Structures are given as structure tokens and as C-alpha cells.
Structure 1
Amino acid sequence: MVAVELEFYLIDQERDEEGRPQPPVSPRSGKRDEHTQVYSINNLDDYANLLEEIAEYTAAQDIPADTAVAENAPGQFEINLKHQDDALAACDNALLLKRVIKAVAEKHGMEASFMAKPYEEEAGNGMHIHISLLDGQGNNVFAQHARMLEQAVGGLLTLMPASMALFCPNVNSYRRLQPGYYVPIAPNWGYDNRTVAVRIPAGPEDATRIEHRVSGADANPYLVMSALLAGIHYGLQNECAPGAETEGNAFADEEIGLPIRMPDALEAFRANEALACYLGRDFVELYDACKSDELSRFERHVSELETQWYLSTL
């Protein structure tokens, strides 16, 4: 049983004076967004017409969209999809939702971006995935067997470093993995703790589930879901222990424990035999080759910042 949550930015179609993206002008106030408060009702009101149209389009296409919330930066929102017992269909709906959001934003004179880190000084866009397991009678296995829940978490944490190349597939993805921007950078877990990589949300017992909070919104949901299901299966098969629960602010207490640079993530990805057994060695080699080539092309590019720093000083 899975559900996908996607964060995105609404962006003005016009760039600022330096050619960079900028938040849109509020349709209600006529002012450009500069500040926001997470879960702000006012921000939802400002873009009510756009959000209502997204709801209409998703309903017409049977895309199980649910809650919309304002996130922690100007023009940033999250739309959640309802849980369903078909992981493949859930990934389909995540892609369909992206297309709807982009189409409606364009209709309203804006752009919608799922880029992991479009603004240097603002929070990035994440993709959170909720997962629980049902038995043949439809009972929540994680609610009935705490040990199986912990083993699933243990497997996810064990394969997490090797899976980062899938969770963060692009060069820009790693801009999001910075201390202070509410993104987990260590393989940790906890109960109802939004600062950890794997969270067990509070709620009714029959809704006991795992929330994976590492992936960027730019990731391929099919590949992320495959890695998560592999991690859960690996944990159950090998009875993986998750280690001690993280309590309090993990951002303040935990050291970096995940590869937060693309070369390191790709190295961990191609070296992990357990993950390769699930995904297939051919896929691992092809994916690594494609992403390594992207990284090589990026590193050969001379950026504007390099020119500013070095052209006249060296």
C-alpha cells in the first residue's frame, strides 16, 4: 500500500534581471511572493483558483489527488496522492499529476517546476513516499508485527547509501542535500520525527506505515519505488536491525552519513551487490554509464560563477 507526495514550485514565466527564476506574482494581492510560512492558509488562498483547477483536472482523469499544502518557500506547494494497493499505478499517477500541475500552471501564466533545487537560498523539492504491507486478508502487517516493521526499516537504511543515485538522479539533486534545509543527510529513523530519513508517522494503528523522506521531486518514481521495495524485502529476508531510534532534531545531532555528492553516490550504487541483485546488473551498469556521462559533461562546463571568480583575478 503506497502513497506519493510531491513538492513543486510555481515560478514566474519571466526571469529576474540576472536571468534567474523568481516567485510568481500573487493573483490575489498582486505582489510578488517573498516570504511564506509552512502550511500557510493564506498562501493557499492566494492560488485557490489554480489549485481548484488542478483538483478538477485530476478528478476528471481519476488521478487520486488529495491534500494541497503550502510549503516552506515562496511559491512552493505540496500535493499528496491517496494511498493505493498498486505500486505501479501509484507511480503512473505521480507522473500524471506532474503533467496536470505543469499544464494548469501554464494556463495561469506561470511555470511549475519539480527541479530539486531551483533556488540557491530556498528549500528544495522532495518526493516523500509512504509504504505499508498488507497480508492476504487485507490486514496491516506493520501494525500487527512491530518486529517486521523494524526489519523493513533496517533494510531501507542498509540499502539507502547505494540507492542515493536513484533518489537523487541529477547533478542539481545534490544541491538539495544541505544542512539547514530540512533534508535528511544520514540513514536514520524515528517515530513521528520529520527530521529523519525514515519516519513512522503517528496515527491510527491500522494506518501504521513507513514514510521515506530522502528522494527529490526530480527522481523517477518507478526507480525510487523499486529501490524502496527492494530495501523492505531485503530487510525482512535478512532480519535487518534498524539501530537506535533518533529522537529530537536529527539535523542538529547527526553527522552526514549518506553520499551527498553525485560521484560518491554513483560509486556506492555500482558497488552494492545486494541492490544489483534486485535491479539487475545490466540496469546498474547502464544507469551508471548514463549518469557518469552526464556528470562528466557537467564538470567540463565553465560556469558564470567561475568566470566571475577567476577570469580577472588569476
Structure 2
Amino acid sequence: MPKPKRVRAPRKDAGATPPPPDPAPFLASRRGVSSMDEAREWLAARHIDDIECITPDLAGVARGKMMPAKKFTGNTSLALPSALFMHTISGDYPEETGNFRYSPNDGDLKLVPDFSTLAEVPWESDPTAAVICDLVDTSGNAVGYTPRNVLKRVLELYDQKGWQPIVAPEIEFYLVSKNVDPDYPLTPPVGRSGRQIQAGQSYSIGGINEFDELIDDIYHFSDQQGLEIDTLIHEDGAAQLEINLRHGNPIELADQVFMFKRTIREAALKHDIYATFMAKPIQGQPGSAMHIHQSVIDKKTGRNVFSKADGTPSQLFYHFIGGMQRYVPAALVMMAPYVNSYRRLTYGMSAPTNNAWGYDNRTTAFRVPASDAAARRVENRLPSSDANPYLALAASLACGWLGMTRKTEPDQPTDRTVNEDGIISLPRGLLEAVAAFEAEEAFQDVLGSEFVATYAGIKRGEFETFMQVISPWEREFLLLNV
């Protein structure tokens, strides 16, 4: 009987090359890694030459250092002088007033990269990346008067209560023709039709189409950085646009607004025009706002604490609104930070001049949009687009937190037009807003006494700088009449 044949396993070719391993998922990320080791690989995979280590100052301007990527990944220690966060928007260093004091030695503040913000800088000609940094002192403690840390301080208060705020900013801005002489008024740019776009084009698709190529660049630049735009519309002003961002974590959204401002300006410059976030850049035109939609979820259940189980509004919802009404007027300087900001907050215009609230009422400071119970939220319509996003969010959420924890009751909602009666129930100008800010004792703990003193001192200094400038109005009406 013949023996059965033995089936041999196929011989492996010792010389065959094994398939390459799948790339790590973080290498495909357009925004963010988790560590310096991952950052090193991420930068190498993109052949990044340079990296910008940036942080927002109190005005929201990007400050920091640029360096070769190899130096960054070599764990180089980065530092900035503390006085950098104590100067005005014009670069002046104000006198010490009130509780505002400079560090006696102008010591270093260390930059600590937040790797979750690492992204390419798509408008640079050489491969470049940017990372947003936090600031700590030489002992490693968070610097309390820097914007990102102020917002983190407020979020920690929510965390201690088991709450997680959710926000969605809406940022308005103008496109304007290049203007190199500040004595001349700003004018709308020429669109693809060859004509300047006019006002009154709210939600006009044609108005957006006038700047198709620029908007394409905004979307392209944003996509490359992992920034998510929800919608883009044309607002009521001449060449005034608005970008809405998807809701999310306040730090992440503040980072996005910070980066969006850079992105939009760079896209506009590519087309030889300016993008401006001034609150009131053009006389007679609507101002530019940064509306903030806010809700709060229970971290354990994931449910919106503004709604009861049966879908009706909760007491926390009413107390949040009560806190906004009670404390936002005192915090207005963080949402309207410049002399120009108060030109937007005038009656008869689209911006609120009150601290009223109402359901789907756009004339109130605090609007409750129509929504289902899960999406119940409060829109703060007071902040202007010139505000530092970290500080505007910190102020708004701090006021809501104070209301929730102190059980502050709101007044009755209104359904009437409340911004055209000539009544202004908010600080009317920068100095009045600073005084209200300093006088509110609750802010000393919630925002930090060091921040309150520093911010108030800088704002007083900016007002003094403004007072040195003679305006066209003064020349026109006072020159020969007084």
C-alpha cells in the first residue's frame, strides 16, 4: 500500500520585505498631537522647517518666538518677559495706578506648548507650523493674568461643580480697502464685479460671491489647520461677513477664534485688502460682534443642566441668566475692551444697549434661541469682535457661574424692542467700564485679583493714550465755533 504524500508548508522566502507598518493615526491629524515625541514625528513627516511658538497677549495679539523645528523638538526652554503682558494695544507701558504694578525685575515667563494646538501655517512660503503656548513662572505655576490661564481658572470653577460649559462663537468682521493713512476713513473693497459692495446685503449670496476667491482661501487655510467653520454669511454692513464655529470646549473654541483671526487677515492680505475686527470700523455702518452661545452640561450624565427631565427650563437656566444680568455690566470691559467698542453699543443700531433677556429677541443683550430641550442655550450678544476671545469667554462664563452658584434670579423676559428707546443700561465708555470692573468684588476670586489689577491698569493707560489724539469731530465743530 503506497504511503500518503506529505504536504509541506510553503517555504517562506527569507529575502521578502515585510509590508510597512500602518502609520500612526496622529500623523494624519491636521490639528494636534499628544506629546513632544509625537510632535517630533509629525513635524518630520511634513518636512516642517520652522515653528511659531505663540501665545495671546491681553489684546489677543499673537506673541512669541519662531525657531527651527529641530531646535523646538530639542526641548529648548522658551521664555518671554513679563512686561510683554502689561503694555497697551499701542505698545505703551502705562503708569502704575490703583493695584496695577509691574514686576520689579521684569522676570521671564516660560512658554509651555499645548501640543493639542499644533498645526501647519498654510500661508507661509516655507513649511511652517504653529503651536499655542501657556505661560508659567519660573516655579512652574500658571501666570494668573495671562488670557488662556484666566479662562482655565473659570473652567476649573465649573469643573468643581461637575459642570462642563459648551460654547459656540460667531465672529463678524469687515473687508476694507487697504488704508495706510489712519487719517482717512475706511472704505469697502472692490469685489469681482469691479464695484464696491453696498450696505444692506444681509444674508446675500451675491455679497459672498463678490469675494469668492478670498473665501475659498479662508476655507482652504482653515481646513489645513483643522479649524472647522460651521457657516459663513454676509452681514448687513458693506463687505461685512460673519463666521460661525461649531460648539465645543471653551478653550478649544477660544484657540480657534484666535487662529481664525490670523487666518482671515492673512487670506485678505493675499488679495490685497484688509480684514478688520474693529468693533465699529466705518461710520454709519453696523458694528461687528462676537456673539457667544452658551450652555452647560452635567459631566456625569452628559445632559444639559438648563433643561429638566421633562424638557422645561431648569432653575440653573434662570440663575445663569440672572448672573448674566447682574454681573455682565461690570465685566463689559472684557467684552468691549477699547474706546471704539462703545461706538458699537449705541441705541438705534443692531447692537444691544441693555441687560435684558428674551426668547428669540435679538434686541436683548441675552437671547434664548428657539431650540429643543437638549440644545437650550443663552446667547450673549454684547461682546464685540475686537475682544480677546479667551477673556470674553472667561467673563461671560464667570458671570453665568456666579448666577448659578449664588442663585441669582433674572427679571421677566421681554418680547418688545429694547434697543431703540434711548436707554443705555450699561457702562457708556471705557473708563466707566473699568471702574465698574474694579468695583465688583466677586471678580477678585473668580477671575483673580492679579488679573483684575493688571487688566484695569492697561485699560486706563489705553484711554490716556486715546485722549492725546485730536479727532476730526473736534476740528470740525470746535475749531471756529468756540
Task: Please classify the TM superposition score into its range, dividing by the shorter chain length.
Answer: over 0.9
Give the TM-score of the pair, scaled to structure 1: 0.95
Task: Establish whether residue 285 from structure 1 lines up as the match of residue 453 from structure 2.
Answer: yes
Task: Establish whether residue 176 from structure 1 lines up as the match of residue 344 from structure 2.
Answer: yes
Which deviates further from its counterpart, 208-217 or 198-207?
Answer: 198-207
The one of 296, 301, 323 aligned to 1:133: 296
1:113 partner amino acid: T
**Contact 1:69–1:79 (8 Å) recurs in 2:** yes
The aligned runs of 1:17-32 (5 Å cut-off) are 19-27=184-192, 29-32=193-196
Q: SS of 1:143's equivalent?
A: coil
Q: Using the TM superposition, give the Cα deviation of residue 303 of structure 1 relative to its aligned residue in structure 2, in angstroms.
A: 2.5
Q: SS of 1:171's equivalent?
A: coil
The one of 98, 102, 120 aligned to 2:265: 102
CA distance in 2, matches of 1:9, 1:175: 16
1:212 partner amino acid: N
Task: Establish whether residue 93 from structure 1 lines up as the match of residue 256 from structure 2.
Answer: yes
Q: Using the TM superposition, give the Cα deviation of residue 34 of structure 1 relative to its aligned residue in structure 2, in angstroms.
A: 2.4
2:360 partner amino acid: D
Task: Establish whether residue 185 from structure 1 lines up as the match of residue 353 from structure 2.
Answer: yes
Q: Using the TM superposition, give the Cα deviation of residue 219 of structure 1 relative to its aligned residue in structure 2, in angstroms.
A: 0.5
Q: Which residue of 1 aligns with 2:280?
A: 117
Q: Which residue of 2 aligns with 1:305?
A: 473
2:268 partner amino acid: A
1:13 partner amino acid: K
**Contact 1:101–1:112 (8 Å) recurs in 2:** yes
1:131 partner amino acid: Q
The one of 165, 174, 178 aligned to 1:13: 178
Q: Which residue of 2 aligns with 1:75?
A: 239
Q: Which residue of 1 aligns with 2:198?
A: 34
**Contact 1:15–1:22 (8 Å) recurs in 2:** no
Q: Which residue of 2 aligns with 1:66?
A: 230
CA distance in 2, matches of 1:264, 1:30: 44
CA distance in 2, matches of 1:33, 1:76: 10
The one of 161, 168, 180 aligned to 1:3: 168
CA distance in 1, matches of 2:473, 2:424: 27
Q: Which residue of 1 aligns with 2:419?
A: 251
CA distance in 2, matches of 1:171, 1:252: 22
2:396 partner amino acid: L
Task: Establish whether residue 260 from structure 1 lines up as the match of residue 467 from structure 2.
Answer: no
Identity level (%):
37
**Contact 2:347–2:421 (8 Å) recurs in 1:** no
Q: Which residue of 1 aligns with 2:207?
A: 43
CA distance in 1, matches of 2:179, 2:466: 25
Which deviates further from its counterpart, 282-291 or 250-259?
Answer: 250-259
Task: Establish whether residue 230 from structure 1 lines up as the match of residue 230 from structure 2.
Answer: no
Task: Establish whether residue 55 from structure 1 lines up as the match of residue 55 from structure 2.
Answer: no
Q: Using the TM superposition, give the Cα deviation of residue 15 of structure 1 relative to its aligned residue in structure 2, in angstroms.
A: 7.1
1:221 partner amino acid: P
Deviations 1:52-101 (A, max 9, x none): 221121111111211001111110010011001x2111100001011111
RMSD, matched Cα = 1.8
Q: Using the TM superposition, give the Cα deviation of residue 207 of structure 1 relative to its aligned residue in structure 2, in angstroms.
A: 1.2
2:336 partner amino acid: C
Which deviates further from its counterpart, 188-197 or 141-150?
Answer: 141-150
**Contact 1:36–1:43 (8 Å) recurs in 2:** no
For residues 313 and 248 of structure 1, do their structure 2 counterparts lie closer, same or farther at Cα, with a shift above 3 Å needed? closer
Deviations 1:224-249 (A, max 9, x none): 11111211111111111110101121
CA distance in 1, matches of 2:422, 2:401: 26
Which structure: larger Rg? Answer: 2
CA distance in 2, matches of 1:294, 1:67: 35
Deviations 1:184-203 (A, max 9, x none): 11111011111110111112
Q: Which has the higher contact order (CA 8 A, sep 6+)?
A: 1
1:50 partner amino acid: L
CA distance in 1, matches of 2:215, 2:465: 38
Q: SS of 2:331's equivalent?
A: helix
Q: Which residue of 2 aligns with 1:295?
A: 463
CA distance in 2, matches of 1:207, 1:50: 33
CA distance in 2, matches of 1:191, 1:313: 48
CA distance in 1, matches of 2:262, 2:441: 35
CA distance in 2, matches of 1:189, 1:273: 24
Q: Using the TM superposition, give the Cα deviation of residue 254 of structure 1 relative to its aligned residue in structure 2, in angstroms.
A: 7.3
The aligned runs of 1:264-275 (5 Å cut-off) are 264-275=432-443
**Contact 2:199–2:239 (8 Å) recurs in 1:** no
CA distance in 1, matches of 2:476, 2:361: 42
The one of 145, 154, 157 aligned to 2:325: 157
**Contact 2:322–2:411 (8 Å) recurs in 1:** yes
CA distance in 2, matches of 1:297, 1:49: 39
CA distance in 2, matches of 1:100, 1:54: 7
**Contact 1:36–1:74 (8 Å) recurs in 2:** yes
Q: Which has the higher helix share?
A: 1
